[in-house]
Structure 1
Amino acid sequence: MDLGTVQSRTAERYPDLRAVGGPVPLTHREWDARTDRLARVLAAHGAGRGDRVALLMGGGEPLAGLHLAAQKIGAVSVPLSFRLGPEELAYCLADARPALLVTDAATEATADAAGLRAAVPRLHSAAGGPPGAPPPPGTVEHEAQAQPDGPLGVAVGDDDLSVMLYTSGTTGRPKGVPRTHRAEHSAAVAHLLQTRPGPFSRTLGVMPMFHTMGLRTLLACLVGAGTWVPQTRFDAEESLELIHRERVDSLYLVPTVYWSLLRTGRLHEAASVRSLAYAGAAMTPALAQGLVEALEPAAFVNHFGSTEIYTFTIGPDVAAKPGSAGRAGVFGRVRLVSPQPEASAEDEVERGRTGQIAVSMDNPEAFGGYWQRPDADAASIRGGWYFPGDLAVQDEDGDLWVSGRVDDMINSGGENIYPDEIEDALIRCPAVAEVAVAGLPDDRWGQAATAFVVPRTGTSAQDAVDEVVGYLRAGSGLASLKRPKRVVAVAEIPKSAVGKLLRRRLTAGDFRALAEASTEGGR
Structure 2
Amino acid sequence: MDLATALRWTTERYPHRRAVGGAAPMSYAEWDARTERYAHALHDLGAAEGSRAIFMLQGGEPLATLHLAAQKARIASLPLSTRFGTEELACCIGDCDPALIAVDEHTYDLVVRAVETVEKPPPLVWAGHPDHAPAGVPSVARPADRAPSTIVPAKPRGEDISVMLYTSGTTGRPKGVPRTHRAEHYAALAHLVQTGHGPGEVTLGVMPLFHTMGLRSLLATVLSAGTWVPQAKFDADEALELIVGEQVSALYLVPTMYWSLMHGDRLGEATSLRNLAYAGASMTPTLAQRLVRTVNPARFVNHYGSTEIYTFTIGPDNISKPGCAGRAGLFSRIRLVDPDPGASPDQVVPDGERGQVIASLDSPEAFAGYWNRPDADARAIRDGWYFTNDLAVADEDGDLWVSGRVDDMINSGGENLYPEEIEHALAACPDLEEVIVAATPHDKWGQAVTAFVVGRPGDSAEATLSKVEQFAREGSGLPSLKRPKRYVVVDQIPKSAVGKILRRRLTAGEFETLADTEGGASA
Which of the five TM-score ranges fits, normalised by the shorter chain? over 0.9
- CA shift for structure 1 position 52: 0.7
Partner of 1:124: 126
- CA shift for structure 1 position 49: 1.8
Label 1:128 to 1:384 Cα distance change in 2 as closer, same or farther (>3 A): farther
Output the TM-score relative to the length of structure 1.
0.96
Partner of 1:298: 298
Share of identical aligned residues, percent? Answer: 60
- CA shift for structure 1 position 518: 4.8
C-alpha offsets along residues 354-388 of structure 1, whole Å, 9 cap, x if unaligned?
00001000010000000000000000000100011
The separation in 2 between residues aligned to 1:332 and 1:489, in whole angstroms, is 41
Relative to structure 2, which stretch is displaced further, 239-248 or 355-364? 239-248
Q: Secondary structure at the match of 1:438?
A: strand
C-alpha offsets along residues 74-123 of structure 1, whole Å, 9 cap, x if unaligned?
11000001121211111111111100100001101101222449711110
Q: Secondary structure at the match of 2:368?
A: coil
- CA shift for structure 1 position 140: 1.4
Relative to structure 2, which stretch is displaced further, 331-340 or 148-157? 148-157
Label 1:467 to 1:150 Cα distance change in 2 as closer, same or farther (>3 A): farther
Relative to structure 2, which stretch is displaced further, 187-196 or 231-240? 231-240
Q: Does 1:462 align with 2:462?
A: yes
Label 1:408 to 1:487 Cα distance change in 2 as closer, same or farther (>3 A): same
Is this contact kept in 2: 1:19–1:226, CA < 8 A? yes
Partner of 1:80: 80
Is this contact kept in 2: 1:425–1:476, CA < 8 A? yes
Q: Does 1:242 align with 2:242?
A: yes
Partner of 1:114: 114
Letter in 2 for 1:123: V
C-alpha offsets along residues 284-323 of structure 1, whole Å, 9 cap, x if unaligned?
0010001101111011000000000000000001001001
The separation in 2 between residues aligned to 1:145 and 1:340, in whole angstroms, is 63
Q: Secondary structure at the match of 1:515?
A: strand
Partner of 1:158: 158
- CA shift for structure 1 position 148: 4.6
C-alpha offsets along residues 463-497 of structure 1, whole Å, 9 cap, x if unaligned?
11111111112111101110110000011111111
- CA shift for structure 1 position 455: 1.1
Letter in 2 for 1:119: P
Is this contact kept in 1: 2:254–2:498, CA < 8 A? yes
Letter in 2 for 1:120: P
- CA shift for structure 1 position 239: 0.8
The separation in 2 between residues aligned to 1:61 and 1:277, in whole angstroms, is 22
Letter in 2 for 1:74: R
- CA shift for structure 1 position 430: 2.0
Output the TM-score relative to the length of structure 2.
0.96
Letter in 2 for 1:274: R
Label 1:147 to 1:84 Cα distance change in 2 as closer, same or farther (>3 A): farther
Q: Does 1:191 align with 2:191?
A: yes
Q: Secondary structure at the match of 2:517?
A: strand
Is this contact kept in 2: 1:485–1:518, CA < 8 A? no
Relative to structure 2, which stretch is displaced further, 509-518 or 180-189? 509-518
Structure 2 unaligned spans of 5+: none
C-alpha offsets along residues 385-418 of structure 1, whole Å, 9 cap, x if unaligned?
0011000000010000001110000000010000
Q: Does 1:318 align with 2:318?
A: yes
Partner of 2:450: 450
Q: Secondary structure at the match of 1:203?
A: strand
The separation in 2 between residues aligned to 1:145 and 1:415, in whole angstroms, is 71
The separation in 2 between residues aligned to 1:307 and 1:32, in whole angstroms, is 27
Label 1:344 to 1:311 Cα distance change in 2 as closer, same or farther (>3 A): same
Please give the root-mean-square deviation of Cα atoms over the aligned residues, in Å. Answer: 1.9
Letter in 2 for 1:296: N
Is this contact kept in 2: 1:201–1:224, CA < 8 A? yes
Structure 1 unaligned spans of 5+: 131-135
The separation in 1 between residues aligned to 2:473 and 2:79, in whole angstroms, is 47
**Equivalenced residues, count:** 515
Partner of 2:33: 33
Label 1:434 to 1:129 Cα distance change in 2 as closer, same or farther (>3 A): farther
Matches within 5 A, 1:376-455: 376-455=376-455
Q: Secondary structure at the match of 2:90?
A: helix
Label 1:467 to 1:68 Cα distance change in 2 as closer, same or farther (>3 A): same
Letter in 1 for 2:122: V
Partner of 1:371: 371
Is this contact kept in 1: 2:38–2:142, CA < 8 A? no
Relative to structure 2, which stretch is displaced further, 473-482 or 143-152? 143-152
Q: Secondary structure at the match of 1:273?
A: coil
Partner of 2:20: 20
Q: Does 1:100 align with 2:103?
A: no
The separation in 2 between residues aligned to 1:422 and 1:166, in whole angstroms, is 31
Partner of 2:276: 276
Is this contact kept in 2: 1:101–1:121, CA < 8 A? yes
The separation in 2 between residues aligned to 1:72 and 1:62, in whole angstroms, is 16
The separation in 2 between residues aligned to 1:315 and 1:145, in whole angstroms, is 52
- CA shift for structure 1 position 145: 6.6
The separation in 1 between residues aligned to 2:326 and 2:430, in whole angstroms, is 30
